[in-house]
Each structure stands twice: as C-alpha cells, then as structure tokens.
Structure 1
Amino acid sequence: MLNIKKHQDNDSNVSVNADDSIAKVKKLKELLDIGAITKEEFENKKKDILGL
C-alpha cells in the first residue's frame, strides 16, 4: 500500500492568517470609528489579534 502524505504550503497558511487578521482589525476600526468601542479596547484587541 502506498502511503501519500498531504503537504500543506506554510506560506499560503501565513497569507490566509494575515488576511484574516487584517479583516478583523479593519472591523475593529469600524467599531472604533462609530463609537462602539473605546480607543483602549481597540488597541488591546488589536494586540491580541496580531499576537503582540
């Protein structure tokens, strides 16, 4: 029996994760702009999303 291992391209995974993070930060910025969250909440959540 032939064992075929599925290979994932790490570069594409990083790209997808970066795109997802950018979309989340943009959504947070919209919430900040309309006054739904404070600047402090925005900064804290942004750091969480970006892993800082």
Structure 2
Amino acid sequence: SQLSDFLAKDREKPRSHRYTPEDFGLSGESIRERFADYMSTFDLGPGKPASSG
C-alpha cells in the first residue's frame, strides 16, 4: 500500500537530533556541579573518552 511504501522510505532517512544544555535552561557548569560526585566516581570529565567496558 502507499502508506507502507511511505513508512518504509521514511525509515531510511537519516535522523539527527542536536540539543545543547542551553536548550533546556542548563549550562555546562551547572551540569558539572550537579554530577561532580558521579563524574569523580567513574573518572569522567570533558575530553575524556567514555569506557566501553
């Protein structure tokens, strides 16, 4: 059917969502402050690659 064809083609389109903290009324600094303990526990920080293990 036409609807099935449309939906199949629509699924093939690349999707991209780009949001920033500012889009939600936040700042990078406020996020770092709020998650400081978590980031320290898991050795996370700006510029550090995420572990896959």
TM-score, normalised with respect to structure 2: 0.30
Larger radius of gyration: 2
Query: Higher relative CO (CA 8 A, sep ≥ 6), structure 1 or 2?
Result: 1
